[in-house]
Chain A
């Protein structure tokens, strides 16, 4: 635990480098799932805040940094969705929002717009069982390899392949083409 933790935590310069390396990927990951620029920015902040919390759980052997980070982002997002049911929390969050300038909003909207096909695809997947949907999301929407997606979900690559296969088969019934989708 200690050694891996030291990879991110020893000084802020290391964390900053980590942040700069991945902030764009995380922003795009979230823009594929959330269509409000302010919420995307809030969530980016929360994901990296969670990284400060949980840096010691990053284990290099389990996969790439970005796959690990997508796992953190997924958890942050599902926490956000649970919280969205609770009005009081939303009010509190809105008051803590940073000021986005016009350029920020334009850049975020651009990413959100570029991801609209992804969000449509996600809607089409909504009916799948959770495990299969998560797998398909990571491979089709986020373009991870099967091994990386397995690492995000904390399952074996073999089990991941099975889930992926089932999900694709289930989706064949839908009149929606999965080809050519990218974030």
Chain B
């Protein structure tokens, strides 16, 4: 296969992963509205406002994963420290609505380039933080020594989106930027409100 065809395969894998990601995000955001479930590379988590005193709650699941429930967008430093005490090297950024961090946070452990969508779904970064209820379950076994779980959380109406990265070595500060996919995602949600 020549390099043009190789690149085309890589692009196809990335395209497939995005379509899947978007589909899942949309579906889970629907569910979020109804029952309070959450989604993936963009995880949708409903926010509780006002009534909770703690910004978040951490607990341990039986299967060895760590559960984080997010109530308010504050005390990221404290959450990072609490996770660190549990052996999870995490970097958490709370962003304004419709914002994401520029991609250049550091050296990513996994990349969709050169992988089929199936292979990509099996990578550590796709499995290190799983959505569950009003938060996510973090699996520390997917974070190797010297790596940091980077979570970028933003508000979206009464839910939030969460992007995850696994970075090896230094994590650079977040440069917030407008989410280029926001309008696209919004338009799709509006167009197909009844899916699932």
Contact = CB atoms under 8 A, between A and B. Distances in A.
Interface of A: 1-2, 5, 12, 15-16, 19-20, 23, 27, 41, 44-45, 48-49, 52-54, 56, 88-89, 91-92, 96, 98-101, 103-104, 107-108
A92 B107 contact: yes
B2 A104 contact: yes
A57 B100 CA distance: 18
Prevailing SS type, chain A contact patch:
helix
Interface in B1-17: 2-4, 6-8, 10-12, 14-16
Query: Which has the most chain B C-beta neighbours within 10 Å: A5, A19, A45, A96?
Result: A45
7 contacts: A1-B183, A19-B11, A27-B4, A41-B3, A48-B7, A53-B180, A98-B114
Nearest to B183: A1
A149 B121 CA distance: 41
Given A89-B107, A96-B113, A98-B114, A49 B14 contact: yes
A45 B7 contact: yes
Interface of B: 2-4, 6-8, 10-12, 14-16, 18, 106-108, 111, 113-114, 169-170, 180, 183-184, 187
Contacts of A5: 184
Query: Which has the most chain B C-beta neighbours within 10 Å: A15, A16, A41, A98?
Result: A98
B164 to A, nearest CB: 18
A52 B113 contact: no
Contact of A15 (B15, B107, B180): B15
A49 B111 CA distance: 12
Contacts of A49: 10-11, 14, 113
B18 A52 contact: yes
